[in-house]
């Protein structure tokens, strides 16, 4: 089984990935580095971007009967959506999608930007302030929603993984069908692994943003905040899934119509 850990940037996705890795290792599923032919070369972890049908098939072929965790920040294209659902239904794939309060994500992005510029690194260096971070995050939220609404995906909030890890482990154990020593798994994720941790605090926005910034981000991400914290995320995901499947059917019908036209033209 391929365990694909997707996450919005700075949403705790690396922490979730390492918790999954620690759980699998402890349960007897060694997490070997996969060949560069199937994962992005040069990464210290198993990481892929972009995600395509061929890459998923290549990963599944190489993994075989093993259970291996792979991380990604890549988008899920419409043509791949139904295939991901098929792989999850047949237990060849398990997607775990990480998310976090977008106001705290923006703060974490700004922190990462400051660290990157100080170290002379390109990644995150453009994250100079809250407004730039919010623009970037606005582009990523639809990617999260698409991964999260695929049937069978486990959506995990950063606050649960970071501050209630036993609850996160229980949910991961349930979808993966494994049992682990929870203390050993937590030790790997929180003490041994490199998780790109910034401040590791909950609800940073309450303390670190001024009232104008709070109001601006509240307005910017009101739909996400209401649906994820005040509403029923499962209902939102079901609606989005229906829209995606309708787009897929419409695209298939159009493609079929074009094929029939070409056949008639040749006849």
Q: How confident is the model at residue 107 (pLDDT cuts 50, 70, 90)?
A: very high
The pLDDT tens digits of the residues spanning 39-64 come to 999 999 999 999 999 999 999 999 99
pLDDT of residue 252: 81
By CB atoms closer than 10 A (0-12, 13-18, 19+), residue 41 is exposed
pLDDT band at 118 (very low <50, low <70, confident <90, very high): very high
Q: Give pLDDT, residue 168.
A: 98
pLDDT of amino acid 124: 94
Percent of the chain clearing pLDDT 90 (strictly above): 89
The pLDDT score that the predictor gives to residue 45 is 95
Instruction: Give the per-residue pLDDT at 201.
Output: 86
CA–CA separation, 32 and 28 (whole Å): 12
72 in Cβ contact with 48 (< 8 Å): yes
Which residues, other chains included, contact 54 with Cβ-Cβ below 8 Å and sequence gap of 6+?
none
**Is residue 263 predicted with pLDDT exceeding 80?**
no
- Residue with the bigger pLDDT between 253 and 118: it is 118
Count of residues in the chain? 267
Whole-number pLDDT of residue 198: 67
Residue of 19 and 262 predicted with greater confidence: 19
Confidence grade of residue 258 (pLDDT, cut at 50, 70, 90)? low
pLDDT at position 197, please? 67
What pTM does this model have?
0.93
Q: What is the pLDDT of residue 108?
A: 95
pLDDT over 70 (residue 38): yes
From 33-37, 103-107, 199-203, the region with the lowest mean pLDDT:
199-203
Is residue 163 over pLDDT 70?
yes
Determine the Cα–Cα distance for residues 157 and 146; give it in Å rounded to an integer: 16
Residue 96 pairs in a beta bridge with 5, 154
3-class DSSP assignment, residue 154: strand
Q: How confident is the model at residue 195 (pLDDT cuts 50, 70, 90)?
A: confident
The predicted structure's pLDDT at residue 221: 98
pLDDT at 166 over 80: yes
Q: Is the pLDDT of residue 261 over 90?
A: no
Percent of the chain at pLDDT > 70 equals 95
CA distance 206 to 130: 14
Report CA dihedral (184, 42, 59, 68) to the nearest 10 degrees.
0
């Amino acid at each position: 089984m391929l365990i694909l850990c997707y996450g919005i940037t700075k949403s705790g996705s690396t922490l979730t990935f390492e918790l999954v890795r620690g759980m699998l290792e402890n349960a007897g599923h060694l997490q070997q580095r996969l060949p560069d032919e199937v994962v992005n070369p040069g990464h210290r972890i198993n990481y892929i971007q972009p995600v395509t049908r061929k890459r998923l098939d290549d990963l599944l072929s190489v993994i075989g009967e093993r259970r291996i965790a792979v991380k990604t920040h890549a988008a899920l294209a419409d043509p791949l959506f139904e295939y991901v659902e098929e792989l999850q239904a047949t237990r060849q794939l398990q997607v775990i999608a990480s998310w976090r309060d977008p106001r705290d994500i923006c703060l974490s992005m700004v922190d990462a930007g400051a660290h990157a510029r100080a170290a002379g690194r390109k990644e995150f260096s453009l994250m100079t302030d809250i407004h730039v971070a919010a623009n970037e995050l606005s582009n990523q939220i639809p990617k999260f929603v698409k991964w999260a609404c695929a049937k069978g995906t486990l959506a995990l909030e950063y606050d649960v993984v970071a501050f209630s890890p036993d609850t996160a482990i229980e949910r991961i154990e349930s979808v993966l069908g494994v049992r682990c020593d929870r203390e050993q798994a937590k030790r790997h994720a929180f003490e041994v692994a490199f998780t790109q941790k910034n401040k590791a605090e909950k609800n940073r926005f309450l303390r670190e943003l001024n009232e104008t910034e709070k109001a601006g981000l509240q307005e910017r991400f009101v739909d996400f905040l209401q649906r994820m914290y005040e509403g029923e995320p499962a209902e939102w995901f079901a609606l989005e899934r229906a829209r995606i499947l309708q787009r897929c059917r419409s695209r298939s019908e159009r493609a079929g119509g074009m094929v029939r036209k070409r056949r008639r033209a040749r006849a």
